[in-house]
Amino acid sequence: MMVQAPPTLVLLVDDYPDNRDIYVQFLTYSGLRVEEAENGHQALDKAFSLRPDVIVMDLSLPGLDGWEATRRLKEDPRTRDIPVIALTGHALAGHSKGAFDAGCDAFITKPCLPERLLDEIRAILAAARPRSGDTTP
């Protein structure tokens, strides 16, 4: 029996309002639901309560940064299986390694066009599909 899957829910974590605005606009326009968080603590709260399908995490955040937030998400059984796409303005070597060490599933360097982010979200969801529970037998 085919079940109509609800629209994918993306949790977008970025402290720069305009970047959030672009991605929210474009992802919504592309048929996804988007929730926003502007710092690490907010990201954890929303991730635990909303259980999004994917989390887009800017690594440089005020207070609790993206690396630490990702580490806590990956340690918690409620959010452990949610894929995290790391997003950073730092193209420096070592940043990507740090992100993967923290448990990120993908790594994107800014500037990142909204369509590229969408491609990345679709690719990671395709790979993680069995987790979401709406598998087609």
Residue 36 sits at the vertex; the CA angle it makes with 35 and 39, to the nearest 5 degrees, is 145
| Helix, strand or coil, per DSSP, at residue 36 | strand
Where would I find the beta strands (DSSP E) of 33-93? 33-37, 54-58, 84-88
Report the residue from 5, 6, 7, 29 that binds another protein according to the rule CB under 8 A.
Answer: 29
Q: Which is nearer to another protein, 80 or 97 (CB)?
A: 97
Q: Which residues on neighbouring strands pair with residue 33, listed in sequence order?
A: 9
Residue 92 sits in the site that holds another protein (CB under 8 A):
yes
Task: Return the number of other C-beta atoms located less than 10 Å from residue 50's C-beta.
Answer: 14
Report whether 50 contacts 95 (CB < 8 A).
Answer: no
Give the span between the Cα atoms of 48 and 32, in whole angstroms.
19
Residue 114 sits in the site that holds another protein (CB under 8 A):
yes
Q: Which is nearer to another protein, 57 or 82 (CB)?
A: 57
Q: Which of residues 8-27 bind another protein (CB under 8 A)?
A: 16, 18-19, 22-23, 25-26
Residue 31 sits in the site that holds another protein (CB under 8 A):
no
Cβ at position 16, least distance to another protein in Å: 6
Which residues contact another protein by CB under 8 A?
16, 18-19, 22-23, 25-26, 29, 89-94, 110-115
